[in-house]
Amino acid sequence: MGEVIVITSGKGGVGKTTATANIGAGLAMRGYKVALVDADIGLRNLDVVLGLENRIVYDLVDVAHGHCRLKQALIKDKRFEGLYLLPAAQTKDKTAVKPEQMKEICLQLKEEFDFVIIDCPAGIEQGFRNAIAGAEKAIVITTPEVSAVRDADRVIGLLEAAELREPKLVVNRLRPRMVRQGDMMTIEDIIDILAVDLLGVIPEDEQIIVTTNRGDTVVLMDRSRSGEAFRNITRRILGEPVPLMELERDGHFFARLRRIMGLG
């Protein structure tokens, strides 16, 4: 039986789809069977980010309504043996699927795959409720901005109310230089408010934009800093104790972060 993880944020554009693609690819790279579910119905993106758009025949809504079997809708990735995508519908809206149907689809996927990773839409309405319905664990993404952190806090509250306890946090687009200059929230500031475990920190990195536009992932790139950050996150998901890399720390707060990670 696999594990169903939803990647969510509240605020839009903070990196949910990027993280879904890279964590999924990272796990597949390690030999696991992974299904990525694009729950952002009407604004599908994950297929484009993975470069699989031209292979879509059926989608999540077709599966939910019984227009096709789950297997028919799953698209095999170009690079990774064990990586599959269940694409979102582009021509329907978020009410086209019900939480019960999502639960059922996740249950089926879990039997086949080691990990089922759900790319949640922005917001806290129906699309969010659908995306979390079948999930057992949650990863919350934020950027080091007050508004993104506020939305992450709201989402953590809603996840807890839905019995998705102890979500893990990923901070995306950190700019160490701005943090040092005091112009950006520190990791410590963020953890201080959200009070959840830190799963990893991804730096701001042009390579993410370059790879995303090519339908590729950074997690494959040996020399990329963001790629290394995603590889570390993958390993932590697999239960390996990986210390935070240089850019994931901000200086004197390292000691505290080690404690949060349970390593100190």
Partner 1 sequence: MALEPGQITVGSRVIKPEDDQTVLVERTLRSGQSVFYAGNVVILGDVNPGAQVTATGDVIVVGSLRGTVHAGAGGNEKAMVVAFRFEPTQLRIASHIARPPEGMISTGQPEVARIKDGLVTIEAYLATGERQAGGAKVTRKLAGARIENGG
Ligand X SMILES: Nc1ncnc2c1ncn2[C@@H]1O[C@H](COP(=O)(O)OP(=O)(O)OP(=O)(O)O)[C@@H](O)[C@H]1O
Any contact of residue 67 with partner 1 (CB under 8 A)?
Answer: no
With beta carbons less than 8 A apart as the criterion, state whether 248 and 201 touch: yes
Smallest distance, Å, CB 66 to ligand X? 27
150 binds, among Mg ion, ligand X, partner 1, none (CB under 5 to 8 A by kind): partner 1
User: Toward partner 1, which CB reaches closer, 160 or 197?
Assistant: 160
Binding segment for partner 1 (CB under 8 A), chosen from 67-75, 92-100, 147-155, 174-182, is 147-155
Which of the stretches 111-119, 158-166, 202-210, 224-232 binds partner 1 when contact is defined by CB under 8 A?
Answer: 158-166
> 160: buried, middle or exposed (CB in 10 Å: 19+, 13-18, 0-12)?
middle
Q: Given the complex with ligand X, which of 110 and 226 has the nearer CB atom? A: 226
Residues that bind ligand X (CB under 6 A): 9, 12-18, 40, 45, 122, 172-173, 202, 204-205, 208-209, 212, 226
CB 11 to Mg ion: min, Å = 11
From the list 81, 93, 125, 192, which residue makes contact with partner 1 (rule: CB under 8 A)?
Answer: 192
Looking at beta carbons only, is 45 or 232 nearer to ligand X?
45
Q: Under 8 Å CB-to-CB from 102, ≥6 apart: which residues?
A: 39, 64, 130, 131, 133, 134
Confirm or reject binding of residue 205 to partner 1 (CB under 8 A): no
Q: Which is nearer to partner 1, 167 or 227 (CB)?
A: 167
Q: Choose, by CB under 8 A, the member of 62, 151, 204, 248 that binds partner 1.
A: 151
Q: Establish if 156 lies at the interface with partner 1 (CB under 8 A).
A: yes
d(CA 132, CA 162): 8
Residue from 103, 150, 175, 256 in contact with partner 1 (CB under 8 A): 150
- Strand-strand pairing, 115-119 and 34-38: parallel
